[in-house]
Every structure is written in structure tokens, then in C-alpha cells.
Structure 1
Amino acid sequence: MSAAIGNDPLKPVILAVDDDPNNLAVVRDCLQECNYTVLVAEDGESAVTRADYALPDLILLDVMMPGIDGFETCRTLKARESTRHIPVIFMTALAETGHKVKGLEAGGVDYITKPFQREELLARIAVHLQLRDLTSRLQEAKETLEKKVAERTLDLAIANRELEDEIAVRQAAQEQLQAKAVILEEKLAELQQTQNALGKSERKFRAIFDQTFELMGLLTPDGLLLDANQAALNYCGAKESAVIGKPFWETPWWSYSEAQRGNVREAVAMAAAGGIVRFEAKYRDADNKIHYIDFSIKPLMDDDGNVLMLISEGRDITTSKKLEQELRQAQKMEAIGTLAAGIAHDFNNILTSIVGNTEMALSNIPAGEPVRRNIERVLESGSRATDLVKQILTFSRQSEQELKPVLLAAIINEVVNLLRSTLPSTIDIRTAIDIPPEDALVMADPIQLHQVLMNLCTNAAHAMRSDGGVLAITLNEVMADDSLISRHPSLKPGPHVILTVSDTGHGMDSSTVGRIFDPYFTTKKPGEGTGLGLSVTLGIVQSQGGTISVYSEPGQGTSFQIYLPKTDAKIAHSANKAEDPLPTGKERILFVDDEQLLVEMAQEMLNALGYHVVAVTSSLETLERFQAQPFAYDLLITDMTMPGLTGRELSRSIRAIRPDMPIIMCSGFTEFINAAEAKEAGISEFLMKPYSTASLAKAVRKALDEVFGQPE
């Protein structure tokens, strides 16, 4: 792009030439709206001077002008070295074909007749700017290629000279060799030395062969095992006498399956024919564990290309294969988490509009109207959807843990209601709450507790998916004394709640039970589970002061017990009396969000509260309005994530103009900013989407009162 003085180097620069100031104003406004830098000239002479100095990216040129006309101006520009590459588009009312031909012959790239269509003008400008950019790139690529060709030609010339020198050296060496051919005794001595070196090399090979960690073997071209190194023998626990002389595919290394023996036999045949074969094989050890082997076999040939023997190599890749699998799983979970967080962000915008508009609708419906209950149900659904978004953000690791008093019985009821609508009728769900619900009070994050119980119930249902069974959820209490703490050392003395989830599924053996909390371990088939459910479940429970025990036997089902410490804290209950009226005001508010629905809703909310609102959907427009009238507004309310300027960037720019300007930041995604970070950035208040009318009204009043004091 043009780097003319005073222009943004990132914006394309366009020179518009027209003797009519009105035409110039229309073109300039049109182009500036589309982020172009516009220069103007009113005649051909000044256009040539301006173009030679500013070197614009494109010129819009009128034809009929005083002095030299547009055609002559174009010819002058094309004759100059500095401006001949600038594309020129003629803009004139002369629409005859002859004039268009004359313009193109003068060096123009396009011809637009007046009056022009705005979209056509912008489209043609964009196309010719792209063409100019592509032409510039092609020229650069051509120059680079020509340079490389020249360099390569020079390299070849040097190589030819070096080759000629090498030939001369070899010819001299050959002459010397012929001159010494008569010294037979020296040759015999050299032969003896060579034989000694060969013996030494063979001993060295044997040492390397036996000491390497690779599994190595030497075979005849027919596949009979001639030799195996110590690492290979130790790997399968075989004695040398038991494998030497046998067909390679019948040795213990390939005992995993008959199909694998066949694969090895085919590999031997291909190697004997001169090929190199490599594939991944499996080996089952004495403990019935599967190992993965990177196996290859290749021929050793003489100078005539005859196969002397075959060399087999194997390397245990079980650990690296597991690490690769864990890496792929971690990447998959990260991608899923990112997707979930993005969905939750969009949902929060939608929910903000739903909740806000529903609240405003309720405020206009009398208490006795039948439709009011329908609208209240919509608001209740919006609240449940808000909780669902919190669960999605928990999954994507974008929500912060929020510990508060939680009634476990309520969590159980929510999960059971959800399970009854999703699990098959062959699974009987039973609950037994053996203590008063109000006594099962723990300090925890309710969203995470919901996730824990859903994980355990989903696993239990999976264990009974074939034959059905009973899914039992019980709740009681226990005192963590010395006896219980000796079995669960992480528990602290005192009263605890026990949440038990049991199933009558296929159960697990002790070996499986010992690994179920390991990350990425799963008893499900590939593609059916992530191996993270129980690992995450254990982490959540431990982070909230509890622990998990599990009991299972094959064919007898499985039972998980979650121990959580009880709390004496009280649950905050909403007062039954009528709520205080919402705070109002008459101040002037500048509101910006890139979602049109949210802008309309917020404007209606704030107008209903008495405020004067200017609402826009562009952060750049917001900054322009504020720069033009910095004292016309008493408060800025901005979204965090917007194109152009983010809320953080907009707030920084606003504060640079008016340091005392109160600002409220709104966001549906805590990864970008949270309440603490907002305060550090000078933000007066921070609202998480979806926000209600009440939370918005209180935040606005608080932000204004902190700066200007309470209204009279």
C-alpha cells in the first residue's frame, strides 16, 4: 500500500480527480466510509503533481476538465516512471464506446460512467487494487526466480570446474597405482592387515549386535533364523537353542495371532526379493499385556545384487504409542472445550436478549392476566438455560469455581429428573434420602457437583445398557472418626454427607478398579469415552474437601461413595416481601454492543428507567461520537468482544480522553476478562451475561453515584 506522508500505511490511498467539487465530495465520502484514504485534485496538472508526490494506490480520473483533459492526464501519468504502474479508472458522463476505447488506449484500466453506482465503484476499485497487488507479487516472484537461476548457474559452473579438477586428480592417482602394481609383497601385507581388520570388525559387530536395545535377528533368504541378539531373546524369554534354525514366523515373537504370523511370512518373502518391509506388530507378554513393536526387515546383498541374508529389527513403541494417544486425546478435549466455550459465549448473548425482553414484557402485564404465567415460565426457562451455560463453561475450563452452601438433595432431584427423560426404561432409577434434606448441606460448587453426579450416573447406565438394571442414588450422613480417616486419610474429623451411586451392571475386577481414576483410562470401546470422566470427578470432589471410594466385583455391579464435609453455613433465601423499586435516573448513557438485538433491548430497558440513551453497534463509531462530544455522556456501557475495538481497547481510549468517565463492561466469557481484571483496568462495574433488568439498573446507578454522587 502507499506510504504517502500523513496517510495510514495500512489503508489504500486513492486519488480522485474531478473539476466538480460536489462530485469530489461524493466520491470522497463513499471511499472514506470503506476505510480508504482519499486525496483530491480538481484539474489534470495538479493531479499529475499530486500523484508524483503521494504515489497513490489507484486514481479515479474525470475526462472533461479545464486545461489538459483526463485522457491527456492519463498519458502523462503513464509516461512517468514513478506513476506509470498506478491503475487509472476513468469516471465520466461520456458513455460512447469511442470514448471508452480512447480511455483504455490512454492507459486506463477501467471506465465507469456517471452517475455511478456506489457498489459498482467499490467493487471495481477492490478488484483493481487486488490486481495491482497480485502484479506486484508476480514481479517480485519473477525477480526472485531470476536471481535463483543466476545463482544456480554460477553453482553449476563452479561444480563443473571442481569435477574437472577431481578427474585430473583421479587420473594422477590411477597412474600412481599402476606404477606400484609391481610391489607384490606390499600388497600381500596389506591383504593380511585387511583380514585382521575384518576379524576385528566382526568382533565389533557381535558386541554391538548383542548389546543394542533393538530386537535384532539374522535370517536366511528362506526365512530361517540364523542368529538373534540378547535383547530379542530376553524380550520373549526364549533360549537361543529354541529359536535358531526355525522359520522366523514360527518363533515366539509372533505368537499374538495367526494373521500376524502370515504377515511376517509375507514380509520375509518380500525382503528376499530385494524389498524393505516395515509394519507395526503386536506381542502379548507373560502377564497378558499387549506390546506394540515397530518391525522392519531388509535384505543384505553382495556387490552383484544377490541376497546374502535378511536383517530383522524391532523396537518396542508401547510407551511412545500411549503418549501419542494421550496427546491426541488431550488435543481433542482442548478442541471440544474451545468449541463448548464459544457456544456458551453465543448462548449468553441470546439469553441476555431473552431474559431482558421477557422481564420488560412482564412489567407491562397485570398480575391477574393468564398470559403472565406463560411469560414467567419463559423467564424460568431462561434461568435454567443460564445454569446450563455455566455447566458448558465449567466443562471448557472457562468458569471460576464458586463455593457456596448447597443442598445435595436438590442436586439429586435435578439430576434424576434429567436422567428419567434420557435413560431407557430398562434402567430403574431409585433414590433414598435417609436424612432430612436440610441437613445434607455442603460447601461446594453446585455446577461441579451436578457434573460429578451426572458422570457417575452416566457410567452406571453405560454398565447396564445391554440388560438393564437398577441405578440407586442414596444420601445419608456419617461422622469422620479415626476409623474412617484411617481408610480415607484426606478427610478431616467431623460430620460428613455420603452420596452413593450404585448399579447392578457387569462390575469390574480389582485390577480395573485400581486404575479407573487414572487420566485417559477407560473401560469403554474406542470412541465411546474420553477416559477423563472419573479423573475429573475425583479432582472436583477433592477440591471441595471430599474423597471417593469404590467397590465392585465382576457380575455384581459397582458402588461409588462420595464423602463431603457438612457445613454450618446458611443458604441465603430471598425475602418474601415485595422487592424495592429499581433505581432510576436521567443521566445520558452511551451503550455499545455488536449484537443488534442486545442494543435494542438495553436501550428499551434504560429508557424505561428514565435514562437518555444513545445506542450503537460499532465500537469505532462509539469512539468517534465520544471524541466529537466527550462531555455529552455521563456513562459508557460496552461489550467486551466486538470487531474493530474490543471493550478493553475502547475503554482505554475513552479514559485517555476523560479519566473520570464511568464505564460498565459486559461479557459472556470470563476467559477474556473477569471482575477483578475489569477493576484493575479502571472499569467501574462488570456485568456477566445474561444480565437482568435489576442487575443492569443497580450497576448503572452504582457506577454513576461513585463518580457524580447520588442525585438530589
Structure 2
Amino acid sequence: MSINTRKSNVILIVDDSPIHLKVLSENLVAAGYEVAVAANGKDALQQAIYEPPDLILLDIQMPEMNGFETCQQLKAHPKTQTIPIIFMTAITDTDSKIRGLKAGAVDYLTKPFQQEEVLARINIHLQIKELTQSLLQKNLSLSQLNQKFQHLVVEKDIRLKEVQFELLKAYKLSSLGQMMAGITHEINNPLGFVIGNINQVQEFLQDVLTHLQLYQKYYPDPVAEIQDHAEEIDIEFLMADLPEMIASIKQGSLLIREISNSMRIFSRIDSSTQVLFNLHEGIDSTLLILKHRLKGNEKHPEIRVVKNYGNLPEILCFPGQMNQVFMNILANAIDAIEESNRGKTYTEILANPNQITISTELTPDQTQVLIRISDNGIGMSEEVCSQLFNPFFTTKPVGKGTGLGLSISYQIVVEKHQGKLECYSKIGQGSEFAMTIPLKLSENIDLN
């Protein structure tokens, strides 16, 4: 298998087994990586802090300090906390995997290793790390640019139109969409390999189980050694559980592919011309990306999303910009709901469940699409609503928002798509954002 590495990454292998260290080291060196090794957790910590590697392969079962403890200490140290850690283990129970992920690991490799899987997983996590670092750098540049613009607005009275224009260009250059497009491309290659092999494994496993059942049927009284081994491995349990395990792996892989496809839809980069776009796909992809914020936890229940989708045709628009509008409005709705939850108990929130409602329909004259996104969050006063789309206006604490998301959304809907964006809200009663978008834009709309 050919693995393309853009630089010579350093991989630290931590394992108390000399054989595992030797085999893994040889394979990684052959794939173009530099390799460092440690035989225990204490040595691994010292090496990683002295000269941080790009990725760590960490065995779980080691004397004195096991892999979980080593991982926790690595994540607690400022010099090593961002290094991706992949656990290596023969343990396959779910509790151990969850414990490892909570400790800070990004993935698991199960012994015995398959060389291609090891290299594929290492490669994807290195590239995700690189893309994440690139995004953080771009965000830092964007933050500095925002400060510069704010200073210019105050000190030199720059025209508002020019500020929004330049800021939108900077926003596009450092957009989340570009990062997502790179990640989905890298995920889809190994994912296709995994899903293809799972289908084959499923077929082969069924053949083997059928063959074993025939033996049990026609040779019901095997020799004692076979009977003892069957009891030792609990053959009946294996025959019942293996197909379910394979099915679960397949389902998980398909879910990853679904997430990857949603990221691809969301990260569409607009051309200078309008293209046909399914608005429901854009909304759904945005919701999937925000799914981690919609889920419930021990502090609050999930935020329920109610979709009242009408029968909409594809519309001519700039898809990437529309997805950005959906992201800004839905993220603000989640923020408003989280703000309303402060100081409430789990039971109190359940009495008035968190909810976001999305409704779509055609206007009566069949020339425009009407989209309503409402929440039952904290709500806003009329005074706040009247300033909501002004650049740099925000009700969020310093460092939590720039006051640009809704301003840019307004520009995208009104100026770029000849539509209308309005907000209706009352304190304590939630908010609703309503937008209308023509089915077809005028010929002379400029993307930039």
C-alpha cells in the first residue's frame, strides 16, 4: 500500500513487547516515517516532553503505568496535549474503548495488527491534525484582521460597505468549508476500503458459520478435544454474536460515510455562477455538523429538531453561502437555548423541552422559498432585534462572538440572493428567523 506523506513525521511507539516494537518500527520506517520507541509509560512521557512526536502509538497493558494513565498525563502536559494518541490493545470490550477515548485517545488499533490498517489510520490522523492546525492559524489571522477592521472603523470612519466586503473575502479564505473538504477527501479513501472489506467478511463469515452448522448437524458427537475447545470458546455464543458484531461495524462505517457526505455538501465552494441546489440537503448537512451540540448529556436533555419540510424544487443560488447562513442561524439558536438553560435543573428543562423548528414552503405566488427557523430559547427585546444585523453588534460576552455572523448572513440573503431576512423575538419566548429566497436570481448578481 502506498502512503503519501508530505513530510517525515515522527511516530513514538510505546510498548513493553520488543517484538511489537520491532515489527511496527520496521513497517513505519518503510512507509517513510521517523520512529522513536519507549518500553514503558514513564520513558514515553520523558521522550514526548523533551522532543514531542507528531503521533503516539500507545499500548494499554504495560507494567507500573498502563496506557490509560500515560495518556492522561500526556494530555495534561501543555507540550504534549495536542499530540494524537492511538491505543494499541488486544482488549476489545466497549468499556475499555470508551475509557480510552475519554482519556484523550483519537483511535484504537486491535492486536494482531494489519499493516495496511495501521498505516491508513496513522496517515488520516496526521492529516486531520495538520488541517486542524491550519484552521487554528487561519482563525488567528481572521481574529487579528477583525481587530484591525474594528480599529479602522472607530479611528478612520471607513465606509461600512467596504468593511463588510473585505471581511467577507477574509472569511471565505479561512472558511471551515475548505478544511472540511480536505478531511472528507482523506476519510473517503480508507473508508471505502473498510466498507468493501466488511461486505466480504460478512459473506465469508456466513459461509464459515453455515459450514460449522453442517458439521454440528451430521457429526453431533465430536471427539473430546473438540468438545472441550467448543466449551472453552463458547462456540454457541460466538456463532450468535459474531454476525451482530460485523453488522455493528458495518453500521458504524456507513454512519461515518453519511457524516462525510454531509461535510462535503456543507463545504461546497461557490463558483462565480449560480447552480441548482437542494436547500433541504444544505440544512440537513448543517444539522449533522452541529449534532454534537444538539445531543443531551448529564446536565441537560437533547435539543429536539422538528422539520416541517415542504415540497421545494432545487433553486439557483450560491450553495456555499446559503450553507453559511444556515450555520450562523442554527448555531445562534443553540446558543440561545443554552443561555435559557442556565440555572435550570434537568427536570425543569424537561418540563419545557429544548426545541428548534425548521419549516420550509413556497410562497403563494410560487416564485420564492420561505424558510423559518425558530427556537424556544431566551429570546430578545425589540431593541436588540432592531440591531441584530448590524456589523459588530453582539449580546455575547467578549471572546464569545464577533457580531459578524448575522451581519454576513443578512448580506448573503439580501444582497447576494435578492431575498429578505427578518427576526421576530420576545424575551422568554424564543426567536424566529424568516428568510425568503427567489427560485431564480437575476443574471447580474456578483458573488464577490
- Taking structure 2 as the reference length, the TM-score comes to 0.40
- Could you say which structure has the larger radius of gyration? 1
Task: For CA contacts below 8 A with separation 6 or more, give which structure has more relative contact order.
Answer: 2
- Taking structure 1 as the reference length, the TM-score comes to 0.27
Larger helix proportion of the pair: 2
Larger strand proportion of the pair: 1
